[in-house]
Amino acid sequence: MKNEFMHPISVCIIAKNEESRIEKCLSSIKPCGFEIVVVDTGSTDRTKEIASRYADKVLDFDWCDDFSAARNYSLREASNNWIFMMDCDEWIKKIDVEELDYFRKHHPESVGAVSRENLVTQNGQYVLNNTDHTERFFNRKLYRYTGIIHEQLTPVFGNDLPCLLLHTTIEHTGYDMTEEQRIAKGHRNLSLLHKQLEQDPENPYVYYQLGKGYEIIQDYESACGYYGKGLYFDVDPALAYVQAMVVSYGNTLLLTGQSETALGFEQIYDEFAVSADFVYLMGRIYMANEMYPQAVEQFHKATTYETCRFNGANSFLAYYHIGLICEKIGDMDNALAFYRKCGDYPPASEKAARISQQSAARRPRRIVVFRCDLYILQYIADQYIGALKDMGCEVFVFERSSDPDLFMQAMQNLAAFQSKGIDAVITFNNFGYSFSLKDEPPLWDKWNVPCFNLLFDHPLYYTPILETSPAQGIPVCEDRTQVQFLKRFFPEVKNALFLPAGGEELHPQHPKLPICDRSIDVLFIGSYKYNPGYSLDSLDKAAAKYLSANPYSTFEQAVEDCLKTTQPGISDEELRQIIYRRRFTDLNLNSIYRLEVLRALTESGITVSVYGEGWESTDLYGHPNFDLHPAIAFTDGIALMENSRIVLNHLSRFKDGCCERIFNAMLQGAVCLTDDSIYLQEQFTDGDQIVFYSTADLDGLSKTAAALLQDPGRMQRIADSGYAAAAACHTWRRRAEELLKYL
């Protein structure tokens, strides 16, 4: 024996005119201590001479247009029963010989698959094109090859082919060809494949290989037809070649302009979305059909997979296509951000460079942000400040201070900043909105600068301030019904915008904790703000009854409809004052609904972890399923969501909008369980990215929550889809972009 440390394993190789590649292949095998058997099928170059330096056996085989026949001959001539099959255009990159010996002894009837990295040449260097798994290690007594080309390993007895993936990787350059070589090989393969199809017309694998053959010669119409025929058979979605055939079929549908037909892949999504390649393909299908939100969701989802077959499908290619979509819709900042996530992928680098050059030619926007001393508003202000700076804006932050010296210094700094121009001012809950010097008009009117006043409470709470709104003031509401309220009841306000809240992913670089590993079943963050000192009169009680029967109605609509019976001719001015005086009724009613939502869950046996104040005054205090904790800082609440399966939300007064808790829950990988709104119904599909309940059916809420907790797999799917949707469209960065677009 030529090898000093021989293992009872034979490496079998068939070869023909491979003098340029066979030495690299054999030299990578030699140190392993295996028998090497080379079967030559008619070489006219130095292949056999080179093989004899490394191989234990170099044998001749008369070529008969049948690859399986040549392979099976090599099996018969090997000295050992355990075979490791390779080709001349492959070499071993990584191998665990001890694992092979363990496999022989403990999995004698199984087949070992290896990872194969398919390389192509770019700029004179090999780069990874795609990775697949291929069966290469087996006992020749139990398996043989069938098929005259693209031969398959086939059990000698029965139909089972138990396969395990080994920690062995080989590299392969078989697809690295010149155009002429590619066409010649494609036609040769097709000739043999059509011959095989005549012999075995009911084999879907042959149709798959025919599709690949026609793809090689760029006849995509024919390739598409054969892939479709192969999938017409009753194929097993778990098989690797079936998964590859589905993806190839989708690619050729897109290449032949059949993007609408490709949408039919939605019907098989659940079966094939186990791979990043299929999810990435769905993103391309949605993109080709101009369904951009769905496309972005799929590309984001593809990046959550650890592995993929086609290099980049779970990383730079997915990010690149999100960048293309952003550029298509004019969102150049996000386009640049996603192109930069593509690493050194040349098309992305070129586009990023072009956008950067264009951006450099534009003056950055100069924005003033008023930051008050209320913690939640400080947090939101900081989100906007960070996003604006990331987008290249110059931001001046005006800090609230009761110290006269600090205030005067801030005013001087603001004036200095304004001397070079201001594009916009952003205030929160009115702080800085009507800013003015003594006996002068509001500063923003004087400077002719738009002031966006982001309101995180209903405008009815700010009636006195809004009555003196600056001409350049633009109230921004989280609910479209609130915008309608402003336009109707505040003629002083010349313009108003709808901009929903956003969310923050607290640790974007860290993997999300799986749902099944999270320790909090249901999390609720919020206080009980019922004011017992405010007694309800007959109108309050009528409005409460109205809202109970009409859960999608606003408080102001309830008051107005109840008043129509007694004061049919009431003016908008009178109605506005009545609604303002009854704002505490609205607050109390929302507190009651919040209490009943928690009661429904806790009394059904579901433990809810509650963080907030005021709950000690309710009858739920002390309930065994009411896990009460003190109020916590805002970011601490987001951190709790990272360890929560379900984050419960009550929308309160939102009927056509939303609050930040929804998106924060999604971005931490939790399932968001919330009452719905018109806006949320537009953005999400119930049961796919989010789960809705109705305050009119609290029994249904309890059943929904219980069903979710009993099905972690379903919760994980909802959480993953919710994360992708929120990350694509509902971050504070996206809200800052939308605000700037208005300018």
Judge whether residue 474 has pLDDT over 70.
yes
Q: Provide the percentage of residues in the chain whose pLDDT is more than 70.
A: 99
Q: Contact, 734 vs 322, CB < 8 A? A: no
DSSP 267: G
Per-residue 3-state assignment (H helix, E strand, C coil) for 536-567 = CCHHHHHHHHHHHHCCCCCHHHHHHHHHCCCC
Judge whether residue 412 has pLDDT over 80.
yes
Contacts (Cβ under 8 Å, ≥6 apart) of 322: 296, 299, 300, 334, 338, 728
φ, ψ for residue 137, nearest 5 deg: -120, 120
Crossing angle of the two packed helices 276-288 and 316-328, in degrees rounded to 10: 20
Higher pLDDT pick, 462 / 523 = 523
Q: Contact, 425 vs 474, CB < 8 A? A: no
52-66, 119-133, 685-699: the lowest-pLDDT one: 119-133
Instruction: Tell me the C-alpha to C-alpha distance, in Å, between residue 644 and each of 174, 202, 445, 501, 704.
Output: 49, 51, 47, 21, 17
The string of pLDDT tens digits covering residues 363-373 is 688 999 999 87
Higher pLDDT pick, 608 / 183 = 608
- In angstroms, what is the C-alpha Rg of the chain? 34
Q: Catalogue all structural domains in the chain, each as residue range(s) with its CATH number.
A: 9-172 (3.90.550.10), 179-360 (1.25.40.10), 366-499 (3.40.50), 515-740 (3.40.50.2000)
Q: Cα–chain-centroid distance for residue 628?
A: 33
- For the chain, the farthest-separated pair of C-alpha atoms sits apart, in whole angstroms, at 108
Judge whether residue 16 has pLDDT over 90.
yes
Q: What is the mean pLDDT of the chain?
A: 91
Instruction: Tell me the C-alpha to C-alpha distance, in Å, between residue 378 and each of 404, 429, 507, 613.
Output: 21, 11, 20, 20
Residue 182 CB-density burial (10 A; 0-12 exposed, 13-18 middle, 19+ buried): middle
Q: Contact, 377 vs 432, CB < 8 A? A: no
Residues paired with 172 in a beta bridge: 90, 118
Which of 106, 114, 100, 92 lies closest to 8 in space, CA to CA? 100
- Give the integer Cα–Cα distance in Å for 671 and 648: 9
Mean pLDDT of 73-78: 96
Give the DSSP H/E element, type plus range, for residue 626: strand 626-629
Per-residue 3-state assignment (H helix, E strand, C coil) for 323-334 = HHHHHHCCCHHH
Mean pLDDT of 690-697: 92
Identity of the amino acid at 13: I
Bridge-based pairing state of the strands 82-87 and 9-15 = parallel
Higher pLDDT pick, 279 / 490 = 279
Identity of the amino acid at 33: G
Crossing angle of the two packed helices 712-729 and 698-709, in degrees rounded to 10: 100
Highest mean predicted confidence (pLDDT) among 46-60, 428-442, 491-505, 555-569: 46-60
Q: Contact, 330 vs 323, CB < 8 A? A: no
pLDDT of residue 149: 85
Judge whether residue 339 has pLDDT over 50.
yes
- Residue 426: count other Cβ atoms within 10 Å of its Cβ: 24
Name the strands in the sheet holding 35-40, side by side, starting at the edge strand that comes first in the sequence.
57-60, 35-40, 9-15, 82-87, 125-139, 111-122, 163-172, 90-94
Residue 112 CB-density burial (10 A; 0-12 exposed, 13-18 middle, 19+ buried): buried
Contacts (Cβ under 8 Å, ≥6 apart) of 591: 528, 529, 530
pLDDT-derived band of residue 248, with 50, 70 and 90 as boundaries?
very high
pLDDT of residue 5: 47
Higher pLDDT pick, 530 / 139 = 139
- Give the integer Cα–Cα distance in Å for 265 and 253: 11
The string of pLDDT tens digits covering residues 181-231 is 878 887 888 988 899 899 889 999 999 999 999 988 899 999 999 999 999
Crossing angle of the two packed helices 583-603 and 572-581, in degrees rounded to 10: 50
- Give the integer Cα–Cα distance in Å for 524 and 216: 56
Judge whether residue 73 has pLDDT over 80.
yes
The CA-to-CA distance between both ends of the chain, in Å, stands at: 81
The string of pLDDT tens digits covering residues 262-291 is 999 999 999 999 999 999 999 999 999 999
Crossing angle of the two packed helices 220-232 and 240-255, in degrees rounded to 10: 140
- Give the integer Cα–Cα distance in Å for 368 and 418: 9
pLDDT of residue 286: 96
pLDDT of residue 69: 95
- Residue 470: count other Cβ atoms within 10 Å of its Cβ: 24
pTM (predicted TM-score): 0.55
Instruction: Tell me the C-alpha to C-alpha distance, in Å, between residue 638 and each of 524, 528, 709.
Output: 11, 19, 21
pLDDT-derived band of residue 478, with 50, 70 and 90 as boundaries?
very high
283-292, 363-372, 461-470, 720-729: the lowest-pLDDT one: 461-470
- Give the integer Cα–Cα distance in Å for 163 and 154: 12
Bridge-based pairing state of the strands 111-122 and 125-139 = antiparallel
Higher pLDDT pick, 635 / 589 = 635
- Give the integer Cα–Cα distance in Å for 551 and 678: 12
- Count CA atoms closer than 13 A to 45's CA, side-chain side: 11
The string of pLDDT tens digits covering residues 291-321 is 999 999 999 999 999 888 888 999 999 999 9
Q: Contact, 333 vs 389, CB < 8 A? A: no
Judge whether residue 376 has pLDDT over 60.
yes
Instruction: Tell me the C-alpha to C-alpha distance, in Å, between residue 732 and each of 271, 659, 714.
Output: 34, 12, 28
pLDDT of residue 2: 43
pLDDT-derived band of residue 361, with 50, 70 and 90 as boundaries?
low
The residue to which tokens 């369904």 are assigned: 291
- Give the integer Cα–Cα distance in Å for 480 and 163: 57
DSSP 637: H
pLDDT of residue 178: 79
Mean pLDDT of 15-28: 95
pLDDT-derived band of residue 668, with 50, 70 and 90 as boundaries?
very high
pLDDT of residue 1: 38
Mean pLDDT of 465-471: 86
The string of pLDDT tens digits covering residues 630-655 is 999 999 999 999 999 999 999 877 88
451: its two tokens: 């002031």
pLDDT of residue 362: 64
Q: Provide the percentage of residues in the chain whose pLDDT is more than 90.
A: 64
pLDDT-derived band of residue 475, with 50, 70 and 90 as boundaries?
very high
Higher pLDDT pick, 592 / 77 = 77
- Residue 311: count other Cβ atoms within 10 Å of its Cβ: 18
700: its two tokens: 């249904």
Q: Contact, 606 vs 521, CB < 8 A? A: yes
pLDDT of residue 303: 95
343: its two tokens: 């690493």
